[in-house]
């Protein structure tokens, strides 16, 4: 029987974020959420996708002639792509003289991904690093993700998981069994607002966080809750106080990391035919003061020295919003 495979859209090496030491971060495709500020749009769809970088287009028109579905058209010596017509057959990729087209994603077995990560063993040993599973949402492809974590853990590699926790408790628990650290996003406390901002309610997420914080401490698994601070979306005082009150009731005093908004994924959206929604200038204005204010609000309601900003050592990470 063939081994199961998962679709991965990136393997980031020599990273100093999302866990201790030097990390290899494996980005799984597919996410059940649709956060308006998502910085990894390549991770939203679970399928292989065509991506097009318009800056590299030479205007040769070869893809226009090749595609029978009329996905491509020339406008002012640049090719325009109608992704709504695209079937992602990828036949246009070899024809592109500017090499501006690519397949986003590649299928791997858990063993193949482990072997990719194991190439960096020397760096892990020297810096105390390891492997982090990210996305998208790695737990949308649980068989491969969990087996990969098991392989890493059984070979003495430090393991971390970034997750939205929008999955069944059985899957989250089985994955956490092989993790040294689990990072869980806490995006908004109001169920309806959470649905408006992310496409799903937060009930399952909050239930999983409660169970994870009960289960993890006795098994040596560190839980870090991440709150992305998105100005105008979830930084209002009422939401932060409700988040702090929820966190205060959790077992094990989990750490809290506040993540700053960034727009590094904005340019990726048109490459796969999507639009980026947030008002970037407004969201980046006075960001430092917004982060400090959010930290003060949370610190007034949770255990002492448990709240950090992205980059602080307590949370082992400097990564921005997913």
pLDDT in tens, 118-134: 998 888 888 789 999 99
Per-residue pLDDT, 108: 98
Q: What domain range is 81 assigned to?
A: 49-104
The residue-averaged pLDDT of 290-297 equals 93
User: Does position 313 have pLDDT exceeding 60, yes or no?
Assistant: no
Within a domain: 321: no
- Read off the pLDDT of residues 160-192 as tens digits, 9 standing for 90 and up: 999 999 999 999 999 999 999 999 999 999 999
Per-residue pLDDT, 81: 93
Are 147 and 83 in the same domain?
Answer: no
Are 167 and 221 in the same domain?
Answer: yes
Phi and psi at residue 262, to the nearest 5°? -145, 160
Query: At what angle are helices 287-299 and 237-248 packed, to 10 degrees?
Result: 40
> Rounded CA gap, 140 and 163, in Å?
10
Are 260 and 203 in the same domain?
Answer: yes
Distances in whole angstroms, Cα of residue 196 to Cα of each of 93, 187, 193, 206, 276: 36, 11, 5, 17, 16
| 265 or 149: which leads in pLDDT | 149
Per-residue pLDDT, 276: 87
Nearest to 113 by CA among 7, 34, 217: 7
> Rounded CA gap, 128 and 121, in Å?
10
- Read off the pLDDT of residues 21-77 as tens digits, 9 standing for 90 and up: 999 999 999 999 999 999 999 999 999 999 999 888 898 989 999 898 999 998 888
Within a domain: 320: no
| CATH value at residue 238 | 3.20.20.70
Are 222 and 286 in the same domain?
Answer: yes
Are 192 and 88 in the same domain?
Answer: no
Within a domain: 300: yes
Within a domain: 170: yes
Are 235 and 270 in the same domain?
Answer: yes
The position carrying tokens 């109001």 is 190
Per-residue pLDDT, 316: 41
| CATH value at residue 67 | 3.30.70.20
User: Does position 11 have pLDDT exceeding 90, yes or no?
Assistant: yes
Within a domain: 286: yes
From 84, 104, 124, give the residue that closes a domain: 104
Distances in whole angstroms, Cα of residue 257 to Cα of each of 28, 206, 234, 315, 320: 22, 17, 15, 6, 10
CB 202 within 8 A of CB 185: no
Are 22 and 158 in the same domain?
Answer: yes
Are 37 and 140 in the same domain?
Answer: yes
Within a domain: 322: no
Are 157 and 74 in the same domain?
Answer: no
From 64, 79, 104, give the residue that closes a domain: 104
Residues 6+ away with beta carbon under 8 Å from 266: 276, 280
Three-state secondary structure of the chain: CCCCEEEEEEEEEEECCCCCCCEEEEEECCCCCCCCCCCCHHHCCCCCEEEECHHHCCCCCHHHHHCCCCCEEEECCEEEECHHHCCCCCCCCCCCCCCCEEEECEEEEHHHHHHHHHCCHHHHHHHCCEEEEEECCHHHCHHHHHHHHHHHHHCCCEEEEEECCCCCHHHHHHHHCCCCEEEEECCCCCHHHHHHHHCCCCHHHHHHHHHHHHHCHHHCCEEEEEEEECCCCCCCHHHHHHHHHHHHCCCCCCEEEEEECCCCCHHHCHHHCCCCCCCHHHHHCCHHHHHHHHHHHHHCCCCCCCEEECCCHHHCCCCCCC
User: Does position 104 have pLDDT exceeding 50, yes or no?
Assistant: yes
Per-residue pLDDT, 128: 84
Phi and psi at residue 16, to the nearest 5°? -110, 25
Are 153 and 168 in the same domain?
Answer: yes
Percent of the residues in the chain that have a pLDDT greater than 70, as a whole number: 95
From 87, 104, 121, give the residue that closes a domain: 104
Are 90 and 116 in the same domain?
Answer: no
Are 92 and 134 in the same domain?
Answer: no
The residue-averaged pLDDT of 142-159 equals 97
Number of domains composing the chain: 2
pLDDT category, 280, cuts 50, 70, 90?
Answer: low
């Amino acid at each position: 029987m063939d081994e199961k495979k998962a679709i991965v859209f990136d393997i980031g090496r020599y990273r100093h974020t999302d866990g201790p030491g030097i990390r290899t971060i494996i980005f799984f495709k597919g996410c059940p959420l649709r956060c308006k500020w998502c910085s990894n749009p390549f991770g939203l769809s679970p399928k292989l996708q065509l991506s097009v970088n318009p800056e590299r287009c030479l205007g040769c028109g070869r893809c226009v002639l090749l595609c029978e579905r009329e996905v491509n058209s020339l406008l002012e010596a640049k090719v325009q792509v109608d992704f709504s017509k695209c079937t992602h057959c990828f036949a246009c990729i070899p024809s592109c003289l500017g090499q501006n087209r690519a397949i986003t994603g590649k299928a791997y077995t858990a063993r193949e991904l482990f072997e990719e990560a194991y190439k960096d063993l020397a760096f892990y040993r020297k810096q105390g690093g390891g492997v982090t599973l990210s996305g998208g949402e790695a737990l949308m492809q649980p068989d491969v993700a969990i087996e990969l974590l098991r392989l890493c853990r059984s070979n003495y590699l430090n393991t971390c998981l970034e997750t939205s926790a929008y999955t069944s408790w059985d899957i989250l628990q089985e994955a956490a069994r092989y993790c040294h650290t689990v990072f869980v996003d806490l995006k908004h406390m109001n169920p309806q607002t959470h649905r408006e901002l992310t496409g799903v309610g937060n009930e399952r997420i909050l239930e999983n966080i409660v169970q994870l914080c009960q289960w993890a401490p006795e098994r040596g698994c560190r839980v870090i809750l991440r709150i992305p601070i998105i100005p105008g979306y979830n930084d209002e005082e009422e939401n932060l106080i409700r988040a702090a009150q929820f966190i205060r009731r959790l077992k094990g005093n989990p750490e809290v990391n506040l993540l700053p908004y960034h727009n590094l994924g904005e340019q990726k959206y048109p490459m796969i035919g999507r639009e980026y929604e947030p008002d970037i200038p407004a969201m980046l204005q006075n960001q430092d003061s917004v982060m400090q204010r959010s930290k003060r609000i949370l610190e007034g309601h949770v255990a002492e020295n448990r709240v950090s900003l992205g980059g602080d050592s307590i949370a082992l990470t400097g990564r921005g919003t997913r």
